[in-house]
Structure formats: C-alpha cells, structure tokens
Structure 1
Amino acid sequence: MPPPPAPPQPGPPPGWTPNQAVPPYGPRSPYGYAPNWRPPKRKSSAAAVIGGLTGVLAFVFVAIVVASAVLKSAQRHDPVSPIALPTSTFDPTSKPSTSKPKSRPTGKDSTSDKPAVTLNRGLKNNTVYRAGSLAQPNCPAGNASIYNHAQFKTLILKTGKCMGQAWAPALKRVGIEWRPPGYMIAQRRGRGACGDYPSPGSNVPYYCPSNSTIYASTSAMAEEYGPLSSWNGVIISMMGHEYGHHVQHLTGISESWWRRYQESSSRSGQLALTRRHELQATCFGAMFMRAVSRSYPVTVARRDTLLWAYGHLGDPPGGPRDHGSTRSNARWFRQGYTRPKAYQCNTWVMGSSYVS
C-alpha cells in the first residue's frame, strides 16, 4: 500500500531573504570527522580503540543554497513521506529476554536473584528499538539570544538536561544503562579529547565518544545561524542530533557501526554505513523535538520551519557522501518527528534508496 501523501512543504522561516544562505559547515577530514584527530598509536583496550577511532561524530550537514537555487531544488524533489518500517525482524512491544543467574553456595556472597537483561547491541535488532516513545519533559525554551554567550550556553545546557529527561526513562525500561553526556561550551574556540572545537573550517557542535562529551562554540554557531535566529529550534535540533550520537554510543550501535566500517573493503561501503549512522542520529534528534513540542513549545509554524530547514540540508555536490542527501535528511527528520518511536529510526533495515 503506498504511503499517504506528505503535507504541503513549508516555506522559509521569517526573515529569510533571497540573498541569505547558511554557508557550508566547512571541510571534513579524511576520516569524515575532526580534522585534527588521528588514530591512537597505541592500543590499550577495545573500548579505547573504538572511542578514539570514532572521534567526532559531527552533525556536519552542508547547507542551504541561495533562495533561487532552493526554489529550483524544490521543483526537482518530490515531497517526502514518513517511512513504514518493517517489524518482521523483531517485536517492538516485546520485553527484553531475561535469565535468572545461578546463586553461589556461599550464603551472603550469593549473587542476586534479580533477572539479568540480555541486551542486543547490534545494528538491526538493537534493544533500543523496543524502548518506544520518549518521555515528555517540561522544557520551556525561553527567549535566549544566540548572540549572548551566557544565554546561549544556558540554553544548550538546559535543553541538554531535558534531552536526558526524555531519553533516560526510555532506555532504562529496556535495561540499557543510562548516563548523561558531558558538555564543553566555549564562547569561541577550545580543544577537547577529539581535537579542536569547532573543527577548523567548521561551525557545528560535535560528540566525542572517547569521553562521552558534546563540544560546541556559541560564537561559531551564532555566526552561521543568524538568518535563523528568529527561532533557535533548528540549533537545538542539531544538539539533539549530537545527543542522538550519545544514545548510539550507550546502546552499542556506534561500536557495531565502526566495526563494520573497518571491515568494509570499499570507500562507498564505508560512506553508506556512515550515512545510516548519521541519519539515525537525525531521526533521534527529531524524536526529542517532538517530545518537547508542548512545553518548548514547537508550534505548527515552528514545526514547519524545522521541516523546511531539514529539506534543504545535506551533503554538498561533489563533497563526501557521509551524511545523506537533502531528501534523506528531510525524510528521517520527518520520520522521527511524526513517528516518534525508537524502532521507527532503524535506518539499518532500510533499502539503500532511503539512506542515499
């Protein structure tokens, strides 16, 4: 049965003029992440290797062309509809399997009789897909200015806390251990465990799995997102994308992705895997925006702004195909927002045309 037609595509946000465009986010490194990061010379453990090698899972969309080009692009691309993901590989309503550990015959030293949860940390059948919807925290955004470092930093930290309040209950109920990420927010530039932030030539925040920290520069983001400053939801959704990488890290998805990335013998295969990884983080970020839609609030007009923006964000022509086309980014943001259950963000079971 064909999917229902998508609603009319929203227009640009208020204040957008034909000569304005969000500039590209800057060059990627040969690895697709932080230009200053290199693999560690010494291996200490599997976890450290994975943490170091993944480096920065930056939300490096590249962006909006001038309005005339946008209009031409809109004419060339059909509206996207949410995806009806198959549930044949798992039952999203089932509970994780449990097993009762055997007690040791040593009295007080016996193990607990509490059932141990068997987690799936793979890509297609990960336990997170049974988590369902996110909690809906009370998270009013206020009127923070992105041009004021203190206000912008407070907004990032406040909404970051809300992201934890949304994700933690969902993960805990399926037995996934929860811990919040750290934050390093600089006014201009800084240096973290995965290199400089922002990365040279870039402006976006990034997540560093080696220390579970999100890094961001308020001035870099404000400089690039001035045309969208009438509402900061686009920026917060980008932070939600980085938080999505944290969820992938906690659930084992990032580890499984990186293992397959290393095993791939072709560059095109590696890029295809990375697109699935990034588009899933976008879907997870959209789930959060939906979770706070009442209290943030995300009005109908603001929702339309988000959908419009993600319909014009994606890999640049001639650049690395590691974050997905504008069509794919629009599809997966809409997917997470309109079908906000974790299994609806399972990019790993979809055909290549859905993650192009």
Structure 2
Amino acid sequence: MFAILGVVVLGGIGLLGVSNALKHNDSPYSSPSIPTSTDSPTYEPSEEPSPVPATATSRPTAPRTTAKPTTTRPTAPRTTSTPKPKPGPTDTDLVLRNKLYKAGGMKSVNCTESRSRPSTAAGARANYSTLLKCLNKAWPSIVAKAGGRFRSPHVLSFSGTIQTPCGSYSDSGPPFYCGSTETIYMNLSEDIGNYNRHPEAYQKVWARMWMLHQFAHEYGHHVQNMTGILAANSRIRYEAPTQAAELEGSRRLELQASCFGDIFIGSNRRTYPVTGESLFQWKWLILHWTDYNNDHGDGVNHQYWATRGFNSRNPNVCNTFAASAGKVR
C-alpha cells in the first residue's frame, strides 16, 4: 500500500499417541507329589541303644564350592544422542536475506487488460478478476523457489465502510491488504470515481494505470506474506526502539511491495499493454503523490523502487531492507 494505498495488518502440530498392547501367557504349574506312608522305610528300634563315643571322630563338612558366586550388576539403558534441530531463520534473515531475492526473474504470462472499463462496479470488478488471474500465474514458481507455499489471495471490493478482521476501514482511504485473512480489499469508490471524474482520455488512462498499480502493489504484500517477510517485518517494527525506526521499517515494506508489483507490470508491459500513453501515465503516477504519514516513502524514492522492478523484472532488485536510509525516506 502507498500513502494512498492503505495499511498492512498482520495478523501445532497435534501429536498422535501410539500405544502398543502388551501380551503375556501364564506358565504351566505342576504341584509336587506328596509321599505316602508306604514310601517310608521300615524302622524297628533295637533293645539296647548303641554306645555313643565320648568324642566325635569326624566333623560334618560343608560341601566345597569351586565357583565364586557371581553378582549381576545392573546396566543403565543406553541412550542415543539425537541431533539438535537447526535454528530457523531470524526475522533479520527473512527480510534481509530472503530466498526470494535469489529466485530469479519473472517471465511474461501474456496478461491482457480487461475490455471492461471501471466506470461501474461491474467494470471495476472485471478488472480485478483479470488481474488476479494474471498475478496467480506470474508468481507461483518464484514463490516456490523461495521456499514459500503459494496460495491465491482473496479479493473483496468495498464502498462506504467495511468491517474486516484487520479493523474498520472507509472508502475515503486507500485499498489495503489484510495479512491474517490473506485478502486484498479494493476500493470501488476510488477506482470508479477516478475513471468517471474527468472526461479527458488521458485522465481515464491514468485512472486505469492507477488501478493496475494499486492492485499489483497489494498483491506485492501477499508475496511478502507467503515468503515470511510481512510477519518478520511486523515483529521487527514492534520491537523498534523509536517511532522513527518503526516508520522506517514501514517504508521499507511499502516500497518493496511497489517494487514487487511493478515486476509484474514490467513483465507484461507489451501485452497488457503499458506502452505509449499508458506508459507515460504510469511514469507520472509512480512519482506524484504525498506520503502524509511518513510510512510509505516519498515520491522520489517510490519512483526509484518502482522503476527498478519495472525494468529488471527480478526480485533481487527489490531488497529495500538492505538499502541505505536515504533510499527509503
């Protein structure tokens, strides 16, 4: 989102227990036999007992044992060491050294502009639908190479005030992206109003280019979300020591979203097309606006990052987090 684009609002694995049944069998048991009286030897006492010697001639000897008694030492169960899991990327890694920057350039998907004009709600929605299909073809392979899981964002259009999981917003403000629901909210009132406000043909071209740029920018936030940049930036900004540092983090995020959006526009500039008057109006709009809240970047810096994306068509030129502070004012 730009200054007139809006705000990005961010938003276990269940363990399955496996039990094994223990089985045991009773051993057979035999009772010992009891001797009967017939088994006993016959004993008849003599009339006179035998004399007992005064001293015993021999002492009973205990049986000798040749083997020493053995003792069984308890053995401790052997433990095998498991490797510690490698730590995941830090928030700084995710924004500064994201794999997205090495994923390669974007190829054209031969996207063409909708024949409908945003003079009505139906016309504007037809343009949103066309752009969504094109962007969903352009980004999946790049997101996958960056290690992200691609999924299409939801797109909702609104007029008046809208209640969302990310808060309440009015059509007096810009479109926006809600990260917690992965939804792009496009401002119908703005897009229809821009197109119908002026009768001049070049103004209508400007309105169409503005709508294109806005949609691609919000989709750029979705790309940040799928690759971990959006959430990491939110955490970094939350921990920022000063408001100035927090605002700088916001500008880096917003300028990057525009750079990502213009990668798509540049990749499809021949087929959409963005040539002639359309190219002129695109160049004009990326420079001319005011960053009222100092959270989206000024016109000069926005033009710098948008042009880089448009010309190179590669995310490696969009690393705003590695840029000097002067390039993200």
TM over 0.5: yes
1:188 Cα deviation from its structure 2 partner: 4.9
Contact 1:188 1:220 in 2 (8 A): no
CA distance in 1, matches of 2:249, 2:158: 31
Task: Check conservation: 1:166, 1:288, Cα contact below 8 A.
Answer: yes
Q: Secondary structure at the match of 2:190?
A: helix
Give the structure with higher Rg (CA). Answer: 2
Change in Cα spacing, 1:25 to 1:290, as seen in structure 2 (3 Å) is: closer
How far apart in 2 are the matches of 1:170 and 1:130?
9
Question: Which stretch has the larger CA shift, 124-133 or 275-284?
Answer: 124-133
Q: Give the alignment partner of residue 229 of structure 1, picking from 195, 204, 208.
A: 204
Distance in 2, Cα, partners of 1:334 & 1:126: 21
Q: Look up the match of 1:254.
A: 230
CA contact (8 A) 1:189 1:196 kept: yes
Q: Give the structure 1 partner of residue 175 of structure 2.
A: 205
Matched, 1:193 2:165: yes
Q: 2:315 aligns with which of 342, 346, 350?
A: 342
Which of 303, 307, 310 is equivalent to 2:286?
Answer: 310
Residue in 2 aligned with 1:51?
A: 10
Could you say which residue in structure 2 is the equivalent of 1:283?
259
Equivalent residue of 1:185, what SS?
strand
The worse-fitting range, judged by mean Cα deviation, of 297-306 and 222-231 is 222-231
- Cα RMSD of the aligned pairs, angstroms, is 2.3
The CA deviation at 1:331 is 0.8
Cα 1:217/1:301, change in 2 over 3 Å: closer
**Deviations for 1:151-199, whole angstroms, at most 9, x for unmatched residues?**
11011111111111111121123432111101112355533222334x3
Deviations 1:45-88 (A, max 9, x none): xxxxx833xxxxxxxxxxxxxxxxxxxxxxxxxxxxxxxxxxxx
Answering whether residue 182 of structure 2 is matched by residue 218 of structure 1, we say no
Q: 2:305 aligns with which of 306, 318, 332?
A: 332
**Residues 140 and 350 of structure 1: CA distance in aligned 2, closer, same or farther (over 3 Å):** same
1:179 aligned residue: 151
Query: How many angstroms apart in 2 are the aligned matches of 1:186 and 1:273?
Result: 28
In structure 2, runs of 5+ residues without a counterpart are 12-87
Distance between the aligned counterparts of 2:4 and 2:89, measured in 1?
37
| Counterpart contact for 2:136–2:152, Cα < 8 Å | yes
Counterpart-to-counterpart distance in 2, 1:302 and 1:290: 12
Q: How does 1:89-238 map to 2 (within 5 A)?
A: 122-186=94-158, 188-197=160-169, 199=170, 201-202=172-173, 204-224=174-194, 226-227=197-198, 228-231=203-206, 232-238=208-214
